[in-house]
Chain A
Amino acid sequence: MTNATSPDTYKTMLEVKGLQTYFKTDAGIVKAVDGISFTLNKGETLGIVGESGSGKSVTNLSIMRLIPSPPGKIVGGEVLFEGKDILKLSEGELRHLRGNDISMIFQDPMTSLNPFLRISTQMIETIRLHQSMSRKEALAKSIEMLKLVGIPAAEERIHNYPHQFSGGMRQRVMIGMALSCEAKILIADEPTTALDVTIQAQILELIQELSKKLDTAVILITHDLGVVAGMCDTVCVMYAGKIVEKAKTDDLYANPSHPYTYGLIQSVPRLDKAHDGKLFSIEGQPPNVIDLPPCCPFHPRCHKAMDICRTKYPPTKDLGNGHEVSCWLFIDEKEHSHE
């Protein structure tokens, strides 16, 4: 998607500033998300990549204020949607925001649909909760949405139960439901992880096509670097609750600057490249995010670690053109003493 030509597309939809979400556990405080910032512009697709436990899902649950509390708590930061801070909204205002303005698709389409209710019941409920429509109008709207997401014989299929749909079809229903209230932002949390590649291609194309048609901004959370390459305008790479690198997609793949990003891109086998011998591999395990010391959390696995990495978290450095990286490699001596 490269529609970043008209000035209108640069209108900021969502601004996350220094968001911190902590979980209190018996073992200590888990800093699942620890001070991350990014902006999402109108019509843009933003990718958040990271491995399990890096905090990508918690980021998005925090945006929607869906963090179970206790044990979770958003302890700092701001999430500005069209200038309003979501973190300060009342329950009523929140309910209006969810679904109407920001909507979500989850990874597993089976567990996010109610198996006891027909698709029609669930879709009508969603639509009527957010828009003043009669049941009849809502049903017509639901059928229209199912047609939009490519469900054949939507008029009949809408009265089926979730188990009568295949995985890919269920994910289509979820997307249809998520977009039925014309949300301005769609958050897709690993929308294709549970699906096969051929179905994944269908669903990704659908999300891309709909976001263009309805001018929806998309936040795509994934661990698949291939999916990001094909879908996103901008990418944030997360590691241990922090954004370690942020850049335009092309820039990120052409010049991965953080050693973690570099390692991630290198360690995936590629279809289009001949290979011999071994894959590049990031040694070690992802860190335990409980009571992390104030160092760079990646240093034990980093092939370029220096002394300072073991004692201090690096500041964020702008490499130009919106390419930001948090790594001591890019901070020169003079700046060291400043920090």
Chain B
Amino acid sequence: MSKTTERRPLLEVKDLKQHFPIESGFIMKRQIGAVRAVDGISFSVNEGETLGIVGESGCGKSTTVRSIAQLYKPTSGSVFFDGIDLVNAPREQMLDARKNIQMIFQDPYASLDPRMTVRTIIAEPLEIYRTRGMLDPSITREVIERRVEELMERVGLNRAFKNRYPHEFSGGQRQRIGIARALALNPKIILADEPVSALDVSIQSQILNLLHDLQKELGLTYVFIAHDLAVIEYISTRVAVMYLGKIMELSRSSDLYKNPLHPYTKALLSAAPIPDPVIERKRQRIILTGDVPSPNKERFGCYFYDRCPYKMEKCKTNIPPMKRMDEHHEVACWLYE
């Protein structure tokens, strides 16, 4: 990964909140609460870098990228792409900007329509924007056809397979189809939502290498979600650690692993198994007690309070702000006040 961070932010997320209403009643529906999936997060992603987002299930990582892609209408906050606020921009303008933001999904089985051929799947983004009249008129059917073949070769699929259906491919190959589709519109940013967690180890490294090469070649910017810390460490320039819809720590990937500050980050890192029996035997694990609490209630203290081994009186009633420790390292914890 290119480790240069001194570039302008391509994507800026400011105080993003995504709450989902919980409704009750059959005829007279009323809102009785909200799932606070993302509860006020801010970060920026520079051009050409990879921002990794880690956290356990339910921490809001997938919701974050879906809100960025405007698949949900955010409750509040803004998402700036290249200076345009996607949340409040007129639809036309948002769609035009969104050409540059594409997604790769976790499940290579569920994310491809079983009744479409590979050709149709990869061409679909182009076809959609062509029908909307938002593509260059020089892009004709023939151009799209050539583009599909080119993309297939680029991601390591034989172009002769373009009339096949997804079920004829293995998991790793399907993920390649998904990547080709994401590249179809020549995007600037790719939001990758756990793209390798459903794959076998040997296939996982193939896909990671492919993503690595594509980034170098096409100058792509990634927002990369994973729950596997080793994968995140490998692919990311910077890493955001999320818990219950909040960012706990944000740092350059190398610093985060050498010098984790937040108690949650420390626990996560110590829980991740390392494939070396000699090291594993010597490691001291921080075993967190309990489970992730429900995101349904409003919190007035630190979101990690219930499970934190270092909790103090202050943490119960005050939400710690993001504090900048050095140029690249931010943490939200009262221990560092």
Binding site for B on A (CB under 8 A): 2, 51-52, 166-169, 196-202, 205, 223-230, 249-250, 253-254, 263-265, 267-272, 274-275, 278-283, 285-286, 301
Contacts and interface: CB of A to CB of B under 8 A. Distances in A.
Given A166-B291, A285-B170, A285-B173, A197 B268 contact: yes
Which of B56, B201, B257, B291 counts the most chain A CB atoms within 10 A?
A: B201
Nearest to A205: B287
Contacts of A223: 200-201
Closest 5 CB pairs of A and B: A226-B273, A269-B234, A267-B205, A196-B56, A201-B271
B56 A272 contact: no
A244 to B, nearest CB: 13
Counting contact residues on chain B (CB < 8 A from A), the size range is 35 or more
A263 B272 CA distance: 21
Nearest to B288: A198
A166 B279 CA distance: 31
Contacts of A283: 206
28 contacts: A51-B203, A52-B171, A167-B57, A196-B57, A196-B292, A197-B268, A198-B267, A198-B287, A199-B291, A200-B273, A201-B287, A202-B287, A225-B201, A229-B273, A229-B274, A229-B279, A265-B275, A267-B201, A268-B204, A268-B230, A269-B208, A272-B279, A279-B205, A279-B208, A279-B209, A281-B202, A282-B205, A286-B202
A250 B275 contact: no
A197 B271 contact: yes
B275 A270 contact: yes
Contact of A270 (B170, B230, B283, B291): B230
A280 B205 contact: yes
B212 interface: yes
B28 interface: no
Interface string B5-37: 000000000000000000000000000000000
B267 to A, nearest CB: 6
Nearest to A270: B230
B278 interface: yes
Contacts of B171: 52
Interface centre among A227, A264, A281 (most CB of B within 10 A): A281
B168 to A, nearest CB: 12
Contacts of B205: 267-269, 279-282
Nearest to A264: B201
Interface of B: 56-57, 170-173, 200-206, 208-209, 212, 227, 229-231, 233-235, 254, 257, 267-281, 283, 285, 287-288, 291-292
Chain B interface SS verdict (over half): helix
Contacts of A269: 205, 208, 230-231, 233-235
Contact of B273 (A224, A254, A278, A286): A224
Greatest chain A CB density within 10 A among B201, B206, B275, B292 is at B275
Contacts of A279: 205, 208-209, 234
A167 to B, nearest CB: 8
Contacts of A2: 281
B201 A51 contact: yes
Contacts of A228: 275
A227 B273 contact: yes
B291 A271 contact: no
A197 B200 contact: no
A2 B285 CA distance: 18
Given A269-B234, A285-B170, A253 B275 contact: yes
A271 to B, nearest CB: 5
A253 B273 CA distance: 14
A250 B271 CA distance: 20
B204 A267 contact: yes
A233 B287 CA distance: 22
A199 to B, nearest CB: 7
B314 to A, nearest CB: 24
B273 A230 contact: yes
B257 A168 contact: no
Contacts of B257: 271
Contact of B272 (A167, A271, A278): A271
Contact of B234 (A169, A199, A230, A275): A275
Nearest to B57: A196
B274 A197 contact: no
A202 B286 CA distance: 10
Nearest to B156: A283
B271 A200 contact: yes
A264 B202 contact: yes
Given A267-B204, A282-B205, A226 B272 contact: yes
B275 A225 contact: yes
Given A230-B274, A253-B278, 9 more contacts: A226-B273, A226-B280, A229-B273, A229-B274, A250-B277, A271-B229, A280-B205, A286-B170, A286-B202
B268 A272 contact: no
A52 B56 contact: no
Nearest to A271: B230
A157 to B, nearest CB: 13
Given A229-B280, A279-B209, A272 B202 contact: no
B329 to A, nearest CB: 18
A149 to B, nearest CB: 14
Contacts of B280: 226, 229-230
Contacts of A268: 201, 204-205, 230, 275
Given A51-B200, A267-B201, A285-B170, A229 B277 contact: yes
A52 B208 CA distance: 19
